[in-house]
Amino acid sequence: MLTLSTRKSRRQPAPKSPQKSPGRLTLSPLQLTPKKRLSRSIPSSPLGLSPVRLSPGKKAVTCKGRKLGVAAVNTSRHKAVCEVLHTSVPEHLSCRQRQTNDIKEFISECLSQSCAGSMYISGAPGTGKTACLQKVLADPEIEDIQQVWVNCMSLKSTGAIYSHLVSKISGKRGNTKERDAVKTLEKKLTSSGEMILVVLDEIDHLEGKNQNILYTIFEWPMLKNSRLVLIGIANALDLTDRLLPRLTAHVQMKPTLLHFPSYSKQDIAQIIYSRLDMVEGSEEVIAPAAVHLLAGKVAAVAGDARKALAVCRRAVEVVERKVRRQLLINLDENVDVNSPRKTTSGVVGPAVILQVFNEVYENVVVQQCQSGVADSFPIHQKLALCSLLLLMKHGWSKEAPMGKLHEIYSRVCRGRHVVPVTQSEFCSVMEMVQARGIIAIKNNRESRLSKLSLMLDEQELVCAMQDKELLADILRDATFARK
């Protein structure tokens, strides 16, 4: 039996509470019970004690920390791939060089000539609008001017944009009254000084009655001695023509238009490969066949690069968990890590990509309708959905006001000899549709101003409603959608 002895200093008494050295936990052997001392495995003792040896018939107990460390080392490449597949803006943007040059040329021309101007950037979600603009604004030649970036979706109301811009541009708290805030902004923008660049992301959320706010903002660059460079971003291609017809009537007031088309299959594959090239040996993590399958699937649905990166990253995470789980099982069973019968392939193949893609894109409502589980929609819900799709197909943006939708719905009902429900009852009907996961409602204090957006495309909506004839009949009659 081993005995441990401690020597007490003759000059200084032993401290009652010994201090711990930073970063290391030191325990005296006398503080351990005999049971704990025998259960510990000491690889190298500072006192020269040899480690406890186990009998040949017993398996060595593997430390949990060591097992996790081995698993982390074997999946480190998967983690590196997940990091580069993040949707943040990379150093180099693929397939958007022309759009980037157009934005940079527009801003540089305004700055060099000290003249105000406006630009409207359109494109579907995930087509690189915000990423390209952020890349251009990070250029050292443009960083020197005052930049103001506002996401209009985050504003409490459309009229709050004025006071928000006052606080951003002047650094002071904006006036509470809209009229005073507009006067302050116009005085600031027409006074002497450097150029001011204002970016309004999701500018379509400023849409309101008579479009007074949008007209006011786009007319600021045309003021005498204005030093404003305005850039608006939204999804709708025809926002200026549809909502701001007065701007197109005057050549000087018409903003420069720049459209971002959806990414093609080749574009999405190139974007993914440009990220994977940052990690050495990434071809051992994602198979080329999986990349091309994912690119084709996403391009056929929407051409959204962010969704493609998200699906790819999710697939890598799924495979990484399988690899870690198998490695831990092998270590518990004391099996050789390199054994071919006890290893899991760490490569993301087409099957995993297809599984994750279906999880991300397939809608529960559509799956239920295809399996015959979903109940048939009540007539008023069907007519409301047809009216919403009718608005989307005839000039309205991705979101429709509740009041306007009820107006179109009432016309559709009268055209089919159905008594429409009241405004309050209509809100309840749309809430029931929202519970099915078909639409999204952005509530407002006034129910008529609440915004509705459709979460399904036309084919999915037809499948969910199970009434193709009704939908086609309503969509053919464009008179219902007249404003």
Give the CATH number for residue 456.
1.10.10.10
Residues 253 and 288 in one domain: no
Give the 3-state secondary structure of residue 37. helix
Whether 109 is in a domain gets the answer: yes
Whether residue 52 lies inside any domain: the answer is no
Q: Do 111 and 214 fall within a single domain?
A: yes
Residue 7 main-chain phi, psi, to 5 deg: -105, 135
Mean pLDDT of the chain: 76
Angle formed by the axes of helices 160-170 and 178-190, nearest 10°: 40
Which residue is listed with tokens 């990414």? 263
- Is 449 contained in some domain? yes
- Model confidence, pTM: 0.61
Please name which of 284, 304, 285 lies closest in space to residue 294, comparing C-alpha atoms: 304
| Domain count within the chain | 3
Are 252 and 293 members of one domain?
Answer: no
pLDDT digits (tens, 9 = 90+) for 43-80: 443 333 334 343 444 444 445 454 445 444 457 888 88
Q: What's residue 159's pLDDT?
A: 86
The reported pLDDT for the residue numbered 465 is: 66
Domain closes at, from 228, 260, 292: 260
Asked if 198 contacts 231 with a C-beta cutoff of 8 angstroms, the reply is yes
Q: Please indicate, yes or no, if residue 301 is contained in any of the structural domains.
A: yes
* pLDDT at res. 197: 95
What single DSSP character describes residue 281? Answer: T
Here the tokens at position 400 are 């429709």
- Of 130-134, 210-214, 394-398, 449-453, the range with the lowest mean pLDDT is 394-398
3-state secondary structure of 327: helix
Whether the pLDDT of residue 2 is over 70: the answer is no
Q: Look at strands 399-401 and 146-151 and give their pairing.
A: unpaired
Tokens of 418: 């159905």
Residues 443 and 299 in one domain: no
218 and 294 assigned to the same domain: no
Share of the chain above pLDDT 70, in %: 70
CA–CA distance, 29 with 6 (Å, rounded to integer):
10
- My answer on whether 350 and 401 are in the same domain is no
Residue 475 in any domain: the answer is yes
Q: Which two tokens stand for residue 267?
A: 């574009």
Res 269 pLDDT > 90: yes
Q: Please report whether residue 65 resides in a domain.
A: no
Give domain status of residue 465, yes or no.
yes
Residue of 64 and 449 predicted with greater confidence: 449
Q: What is the pLDDT of residues 298-333, one digit of tens each?
A: 888 778 898 899 899 999 999 988 888 877 776 666
Q: What is the span of the domain harbouring residue 242?
A: 97-260
Residue 163 gets the label, from left (phi > 0), alpha (psi -120 to 50) or beta, of alpha
Instruction: State whether 136 and 248 are in the same domain.
Output: yes
Higher pLDDT, 274 or 241: 274
> What is d(CA 465, CA 460) in angstroms, rounded to the nearest whole number?
9
Q: pLDDT tier at 452 (50, 70, 90 boundaries)?
A: confident
Residues 114 and 256 in one domain: yes
- Domain termination residue (choose one: 230, 260, 290): 260
> What does the pLDDT look like over 197-255, one tens digit per residue?
999 998 988 887 678 888 899 999 999 999 999 999 988 877 777 777 777 666 667 89
105 plus 240 within the same structural domain: yes
